[in-house]
Structure 1
Amino acid sequence: MKCASKALRSEVDLAIKKQHADPTFGINVGRQNNEDSVGLTFSIPLNIRNNFSSEVKAASEIALSAEESFKAEYLEKLQLIIGSEKVLFEYEKRYLHWQSIAKMALVDADTLLEKQWKSGDISTTDYIQLLNQLSDGQMVGIELEQKWKLSYIELLLNEGSISNAISNL
């Protein structure tokens, strides 16, 4: 976008330079009726009606418009990145919290529950119901991990650095 901005600035500079017409000077050499002739011409343009200010103004407006479009797009991308970072950190925090509380408890609960069922401390119906609750807890963890990783991918996409991340795998 910087190259486009430089090009538009160059157009503005060119339009400003065209605003003032330069005088011209010419020499004509030739023969006329068997006589050598030399002619001199000198021209000074008078900018009475057209001072080219509209071209300068138009070029300036185009350059300003392009610059503002760039700024708007930049700010939009920046907000997307900031939002993606916040989502990523929130999912990461929730997943790590779940992991610290539930993951180890779920593994131990599974074996403890099976021992209680085999020894007859709990009924088969209670055992199945408790296994379903354990699996629901594990599903919550899997979903949190999935959302966390997807939000990371979203951040990489918004930053435009997904190809760098893939090449580092």
Structure 2
Amino acid sequence: MLVALDESEHSFYALEWTLNHFFAPNVGHSFKLHVIHARPSPASLLGMGEIGSGEFVTLMETDLKRTATWTIEKAKAMCSDKSVDDVSMEIVEGDPRNVLCDAVDRHHATILVVGSHGYGLVKRAVLGSISDYCAHHAHCTVMIVKRPKLKH
């Protein structure tokens, strides 16, 4: 089982949901858990590889590494809190769509779990939907976990 993470609360909810439903204590499970964080490259965020000063790109690279490390450390803590110790954590640089589909193949995953940001039609058209892409291209079952809306 592969769980995709970014730094959003939506992806951490998907991890928590997975831990609660597939790795409950005292329940036998047949899954090996892999958690993967796709870290964008500075060039992909800038749109073109040659834009920006060297110092700016270095600062951006440092920030991306820090965010990736924070994301994985939080995931480790969540797994540990649920007594799920047999888990692998991975940070891969690249477009999340490609990183996740490649990871499915590399780990022979039978299930890919992704969180849903809940974008509407316009935002999804502009920003793209990683979960939609994976649902159509990953060679396994894709579970899209939506975080419940909070009632006021």
Give the structure with the larger strand fraction.
2
Structure 2 length-normalised TM: 0.29
Q: Which has the larger radius of gyration?
A: 1
Structure 1 length-normalised TM: 0.26
Name the structure, 1 or 2, with higher relative contact order (CA <8 Å, separation 6+). Answer: 2
